[in-house]
Amino acid sequence: MPDEIPELEEIKVLLRQEPRGLSILEISRELKIGRNVTTKYLSMLHAAGQVEVRRVAAAKLYTLAHRVPVSALLGLTSDLIVVLDRSLRVVLANDAFRAALCPGKADITGRSFEAFFPDRPLPPEVIEMTRTALRGQEGRSEVPWETGGRTVQFRAKFVPVVFEDGSPGVTVILEDVTREVEAARDLEKALEEKEALIHAIHYRMRNTLQVVSSILHLQTARLTDPAARKAIRATEQQILSLALAHEDLYLSQNSDRVRMEEYLTRLAGTLIGTYGVPLDKISWKVRAPGIEMPLELAQFTGFILVELIVNVIQHAFPDGMTGSMEVAIDRDRAGTYTVTVQDNGVGIPEGMEIAAGTTPGLPTVRLLVEQYLEGRIAIGWDSSGTTVTVTFGENLLVPPPGTAETEGHT
C-alpha cells in the first residue's frame, strides 16, 4: 500500500475515534474529500484487511479491522514456519524459523529456500514434499537436522496455499520432536534391556530347576522304599516340567507366553526318554499349533500333562504291547482351552472313578483341574483306546487354598 497517500492513515485515525463505524458520506465530510475518492481509499484499506464493512439498513458502515496480523500469529508458536512462493522463494518466516535455521541472517525474504544452506543441502524428501504441496497435495515427513553439534528431529508438514493473485505457494511447518524421538528411543532401549533381563532370569530358573531335578534323581537311587521312590520321581518330573517352561520362554522372543507345541514336544520327549520307552513301543505326536499360554497357566498345564503322559507310558501298553499317543491343545474364541491325551492302549475299566488308588496319576489331575483351574475333566474309553479331556479358561487360575489366610497374617 503506497505510503505517499496520507488520507489512508487519516481514515484509520478517524475510524479509531468512532468504533461503532462511519459511512462513506460521514468520512468524506470529516476529511473534506469527495465520496468517490473516499470509496476508493476504503476499498484499498478493505483489500489490505485493515478495515471491515457491514451493512446497516441502506448504508455501509466501516470500522477498523480487529484481525490479528498473520505475522503476529506465527510468532505465537514455537514451531518453525516458512511460507514459500511457487519458485520456492521465502515470502514469510517466523522468528522461530529464523533463530533456529537462519541465525545471523538479517533478511531472508525473497531468497531461495534451497539456497539457505549452501554448506548442507536440504534433504531430497523435503524438496520433493515442497514441490508436491505446490501441486495441491499436503505432505508430511520426518526431517533430521544437524545444528549446534546435535541432531534435531523435526516433524515436517507441507501445506498448500494460494496467494491473492491466485498463484500457488506452500507453508512448511517444522515441529521439534527431538525430545519425543529421544524418549521413544530410551523407552525402546529400556524394553530391550528388560527383555534381556527376563530372558536371563528364565535361563537361570531353567538351570536351577534342572539342578534340583538332577539332585532328586540322584536321591531316588538311594531309596529302597518303592512308595518313596515313586513320590520322589513324580516330584522330579514336575520340577522338570517347570524347567522346560522356563526354557521355552528363554528360547522364544516372547518373555511372558509359552509356545505350547514346542514346550509339550520337549516335555513328552523327555518323559519318554526318562522312562526308557523304546522308539518302536509308543509312537507319539503333539498338536497345539499357534497356542500360547501365560507362564503360570502353562506350568499348571505341564503338571497335568506330566501325570497323563506318565499314566500312558506306565499303564496303556502292558506286556510288550505297542501303540500310539497324541497330546493336543485347542482354544476356542471364548478363550477356553481343551487339552486332550489320547492313546489306543488297553483303556480304563468302564465305570472306574477318578479316586485315589484307582487310576494312577488321575487324582492329581482332578485336583489341579478342579481346584486350581476351575475346569472340568472327562475320561472316554472305547475299543479304539482312552481319551482324557480337560477344559479350562485362561483367566480362571486361582491361588492354592490357604494363600489368602497366609497373606492376611503377614
Q: What DSSP assignment string belongs to 231-242? A: HHHHHHHHHHHH
Backbone φ and ψ of 139, nearest 5°: -140, 160
Which pLDDT band, with edges at 50, 70 and 90, does 76 fall under?
A: low
The residue among 75 and 188 whose pLDDT is bigger is: 188
Are 174 and 102 in contact by the 8 Å Cβ rule? The answer is: no
Are 51 and 62 in contact by the 8 Å Cβ rule? The answer is yes
Each residue of 145-157: pLDDT tens digit?
776 677 888 888 9
- Secondary-structure class of domain 6-64 per CATH: mainly alpha
Residues whose CB is less than 8 angstroms from the CB of residue 220 and which lie 6 or more positions away in sequence, other chains included:
229, 232, 233, 236
In CATH terms, is domain 70-181 a member of 3.30.450.20? yes
Q: Quick one: cell of 309?
A: 503322559
What pLDDT sits at residue 392? 92
Burial 160-179 (b: 16+ CB within 10 A, else e): beeeeeeeebbbbbbbbbee
pTM above 0.75, yes or no: no
Chain segment 105-161, per-residue pLDDT in tens:
667 777 777 666 656 667 778 888 888 888 888 888 888 777 667 788 888 899 998
Cite the residue boundaries of each domain of the chain with CATH code 3.30.450.20.
70-181
What is d(CA 324, CA 272) in angstroms, rounded to the nearest whole number? 12
**Higher pLDDT pick, 164 / 166:** 166
- Written as one string, the DSSP assignment of 299-350 is HHHHHHHHHHHHHHHHHTS-TT--EEEEEEEEE-TTSEEEEEEEE-SS---T
What pLDDT shows up at residue 344? 92
Mean pLDDT of 261-270: 86
CATH 1.10.10.10 positions along the chain are 6-64
Which whole number is the average pLDDT over 248-269? Answer: 77
Confidence of residue 3 (pLDDT cuts 50, 70, 90): very low
